[in-house]
Amino acid sequence: MLIFFWRPLFFWGYIIKYVFYVDYFNELLFLSKKEYMSNQRFKAIESSHNRSEIIVEETGRRSEYFGMNVFNEERMLQYLTKDAYDRVKAAVVSGVKIDRKVADQVAEGMKTWAISMGATHYTHWFQPLTGTTAEKHDAFFDFSPEGRVMEKFGGGQLVQQESDASSFPNGGIRNTFEARGYTAWDPTSPAFLYGTTLCIPTVFVAYTGEALDNKAPLLRALNAMDEAATAVAKFFDKNVTKVFATLGWEQEYFLIDKSLAFSRPDISLAGRTLIGQSAAKGQQLDDHYFGVIPNRVLNFMKDLERECTKLGIPVKTRHNEVAPNQFELAPIFEETNLAVDHNLLLMDVMEKIADKHFFKVLFHEKPFRGINGSGKHNNWSLSTDTGVNLLSPGSTPMKNLQFLTFFVNTIKAVDNYEELLRSSIASAGNDHRLGANEAPPAILSIFIGEQLNEVLNELEGVTKGKLSPEEKTELKLNVVGKIPEILLDNTDRNRTSPFAFTGNKFEMRGVGSKTNCAKPMTVLNTIVAKQLMAFKKEVDQLVDKKGLKKDEAIFNVLREYIKTSKRIRFEGDGYSEIWENEAKSRGLSNNKNTPQALQILTSKESLALFKSMNVMSEIEVRVRQEVELEEYILHIQIEGRVFNELAYSYIIPAAVEYQNKLIKNVVGLKEIYGAAHKKMSESQLDIVERISEHIRAIKIKTDAMVDERKKANNMTDINKKANTYCDSVRPYFDEIRYHCDKLEQLVGDEYWPLTKYRELLFIK
């Protein structure tokens, strides 16, 4: 009987226990939903605090393993026949076409080397108009006609591949269903091994022949520069047969703990913080700049530099930058095409190494408001195959005249095409950076220093036509001859200048940290090449028709260039309102946003320039304008959607919850103290009202922003659409942010769902 009596009790006991647990877990679930976001923030902070640094030991000399994963000259000598090696070198130096037989030999050598290094796949590595790189991996695997398994990689697969091009930006020149595109081997940039994949740098073209990448126009611009600069260099040295444009980029970036970065939807989706109150301490103490590199970051840098060295990227400099958690990496100068490839490869490698060290690397030009953004200074110069830097003065007046020739022609080229050069650095991200916190303004000007300005001013007075012996002596000895001494003391720098001469190179400082260097380098080399061609023509005419000696003709032409390009030279503060007004009076452009800046691309002058220099056809230029406008629209559109999510899913709920807490406090005081509670709860009620005002403003402005976005999305004209996103959608971002940041100051810290600036920027 006892057994039968207890069975029902056990049954009901289990039922009660089950109901209790379900209710308990439902309560936990409710609490977790309610507190998930703030808990996520604090868990991310705890996770970052508990990180153990990954120790990376620096072993061996870099010279011993530099380029070990690159199919460079050393590997080619080892794995290619002499004929194949000579043909590849000829292709690199002179652009000689490689025939199929030689391509087969090169492919066999590459495959043998790559497999010996552990490679299993190969890919054509290219630069579509997304601004990043792309790749499709194929295995060194096939069947022979007899059905046997074999490793296969021939000249046809090396030289060209058919790639699915349907989803890459193409500016409307082809339909989505027209998927065919081609990648073609670029022998001037060596193949390299990354992981288990042989990567072959290539250009990317449409089935119809137009370039759909950033590399093809750059190669054409560099070829134009070679021809134009070589012709001018021969005025001074007949032995020059080739001129290389060189590039040394400086990559700035932020490192944020991965947990902290992923706790922010805006960083994850937009690459920057759309809201966030500035921390009490930012960069004002200058204590981060060139300071001791944090251990965790230093180990990341060691790991990164080791991988870069193996890949032949000549990284040399590393240091803390101005803003908290901002850093910089810079390499030794290289030929421009190779330097561009190395910068893109570096950014890929950085992301992988950062992930390994539990960091998120931010390349956005302005990820945090109120502190420095990140640029990618492009240091550009010209070098001959005889080993001379054409932008470096020499030991004789003639060598200094050579320097002046290329120096003044560069200034003249930038003056002629300043608006076009500005367009080459335009992007949604860079719009936030230009003109703020040490970044150069959108007005393009050139800083050359007081001493060089004096030299150019003296050259303005050169007599027209033939020079007297006394004037020629004076110019060569006391003006041109003293340039090396002048440059020794000309060490001051203007950090707000977009384009500055820095001793033996020009530094283009407006380039954004995320930008593909190929874009500004294509424009810069094209316009300087165009200018050098015009210069040679004018000098030749003065020599042939006016009977002037070569140096007299050069002085005469340079004198006119110095006069006509004077407006572009500026030595002062690029941020000042006075300069903005003066620049306008000088006729310089001030295109402050991307849609404005990109309009110049399809002007008659721009289209004629690119066509005459064989750099881009009209359709290729129009494609790039459309692609970049579309990219701008999409960036603003994504940020608008993230703002909507932040407002309704994060900020307003957190503010309401904290407001309820205050209201509950006021009600409790009233219950205890009655009418006397008013004095006690005055501050709480004031905060409640201020929170309500900001919540209301956020809702109104977010809804208005969404409405404007919908209007813009219905537009078919891409120029109108981009301008609407710029003028009607984007202004709401600052307004919404203002109220969100005010709420961050009012809402209790434990209620705030988003990781704050003080946590993002000061947790190492």
Res. 19 pLDDT band, cuts 50 70 90: very low
Rounded distance, CA 279 to CA 259, Å? Answer: 19
Give residue 528's pLDDT.
Answer: 98
Res. 11 pLDDT band, cuts 50 70 90: very low
The string of DSSP codes covering 98-142 is PPHHHHHHHHHHHHHHHHHTT--EEEEEB-BTTSS-B--EEES-E
69 or 671: which leads in pLDDT: 69
At 591-624, the pLDDT tens digits run 999 999 999 999 999 999 999 999 999 999 999 9
Res. 149 pLDDT band, cuts 50 70 90: confident
Provide, for the chain, the percentages of residues in helix, strand and coil under a 3-state DSSP scheme, each rounded to the nearest 5. Answer: 55, 15, 30
Q: Which residues contact 129 (CB under 8 A, 6 or more apart)?
A: 168, 169, 170, 171, 212, 213, 214, 623, 624, 627
Rounded distance, CA 292 to CA 327, Å? Answer: 11
pLDDT exceeds cutoff 80 at 703: yes
Give residue 25's pLDDT.
Answer: 45
At 151-177, the pLDDT tens digits run 788 888 898 887 665 567 676 666 545
Q: What percent of the chain has pLDDT over 90?
A: 69
| Backbone φ, ψ for residue 693 (5° rounding) | -60, -45
User: Looking at 156-160, 275-279, 315-319, 655-659, which range is the least confident one?
Assistant: 156-160
Res. 38 pLDDT band, cuts 50 70 90: low
CATH fit for domain 223-616, picks 3.40.470.10, 3.40.50.300, 3.30.420.40, 3.30.590.10: 3.30.590.10
At 631-663, the pLDDT tens digits run 999 999 999 999 999 999 999 999 999 999 999
pLDDT exceeds cutoff 50 at 29: no
Rounded distance, CA 512 to CA 360, Å? Answer: 18
pLDDT exceeds cutoff 90 at 349: yes
Rounded distance, CA 575 to CA 404, Å? Answer: 29
Give residue 490's pLDDT.
Answer: 55
| 3-state SS, one letter per residue, for 206-237 | ECCCCECECHHHHHHHHHHHHHHHHHHHCCCC
Q: Find out if CATH 1.10.3720.10 is the number for domain 631-761.
A: no
Give residue 37's pLDDT.
Answer: 56
pLDDT exceeds cutoff 70 at 248: yes
At 452-470, the pLDDT tens digits run 999 999 999 888 888 888 8
Res. 494 pLDDT band, cuts 50 70 90: low
C-alpha dihedral (472, 474, 480, 482), degrees to nearest 10: 160
pLDDT exceeds cutoff 70 at 24: no
Among residues 650, 622, 408, 517, which one has the least CA distance to residue 127?
Answer: 517
Q: What percent of the chain has pLDDT over 70?
A: 92
pLDDT exceeds cutoff 50 at 20: no
CATH fit for domain 81-212, picks 3.90.1150.10, 3.40.50.1220, 3.10.20.70, 3.40.50.720: 3.10.20.70
pLDDT exceeds cutoff 80 at 489: no
Rounded distance, CA 598 to CA 602, Å? Answer: 8
At 353-371, the pLDDT tens digits run 999 999 999 999 999 999 9
Give residue 17's pLDDT.
Answer: 45
pLDDT exceeds cutoff 50 at 213: yes
Rounded distance, CA 336 to CA 522, Å? Answer: 10
Q: Containing H/E element for 361?
A: strand 359-362
Res. 206 pLDDT band, cuts 50 70 90: confident
List the alpha helices (DSSP H) in 546-651: 550-564, 577-586, 594-598, 604-612, 618-645
pLDDT exceeds cutoff 50 at 735: yes
Rounded distance, CA 456 to CA 747, Å? Answer: 60
Give residue 492's pLDDT.
Answer: 52
The dihedral through the CA atoms of 681, 683, 686, 687 has a sign that is negative
284 or 688: which leads in pLDDT: 688
Give residue 461's pLDDT.
Answer: 87
Q: Which residues contact 266 (CB under 8 A, 6 or more apart)?
A: 272, 273, 274, 275, 639, 642, 646
Give residue 564's pLDDT.
Answer: 96
Please state at what angle helix 550-564 crosses helix 397-416, rounded to 10 degrees. 30
Q: Containing H/E element for 542?
A: helix 518-545
Give residue 21's pLDDT.
Answer: 44
Give residue 35's pLDDT.
Answer: 55
Give residue 473's pLDDT.
Answer: 83
Q: Which residues contact 616 (CB under 8 A, 6 or more apart)?
A: 211, 217, 220, 610, 624
The string of DSSP codes covering 433-444 is HTTSTT---SS-
Show the CA angle centred on residue 145, arms to residues 144 and 146, nearest 5°: 85
What DSSP character marks residue 167? T
755 or 503: which leads in pLDDT: 755
Rounded distance, CA 151 to CA 157, Å? Answer: 13
pLDDT exceeds cutoff 50 at 16: no
Rounded distance, CA 206 to CA 181, Å? Answer: 5
pLDDT exceeds cutoff 60 at 210: yes
User: Looking at 132-136, 427-431, 508-512, which range is the least confident one?
Assistant: 132-136
Among residues 260, 444, 280, 437, which one has the least CA distance to residue 360?
Answer: 260
Amino acid at 379: N
65 or 436: which leads in pLDDT: 65
Please state at what angle helix 450-459 crosses helix 550-564, rounded to 10 degrees. 120
Section 566-576 average pLDDT: 87
Rounded distance, CA 670 to CA 668, Å? Answer: 5
The string of DSSP codes covering 250-300 is EEEEEEEEHHHHHT-HHHHHHSS-SS-PPPS-SSTT--STT-PPPHHHHHH
Amino acid at 121: H
Section 492-504 average pLDDT: 80
Q: How far is CA 680 from CA 193, 657, 661, in A?
A: 71, 21, 15
pLDDT exceeds cutoff 60 at 1: no
Rounded distance, CA 377 to CA 252, Å? Answer: 9
Q: What is the pTM of this model?
A: 0.92
Section 384-398 average pLDDT: 91
At 88-138, the pLDDT tens digits run 999 888 888 888 889 999 999 999 999 999 999 999 999 999 888 988 898
Among residues 421, 424, 396, which one has the least CA distance to residue 411?
Answer: 421
Section 68-86 average pLDDT: 94
Amino acid at 234: K
Give residue 180's pLDDT.
Answer: 65
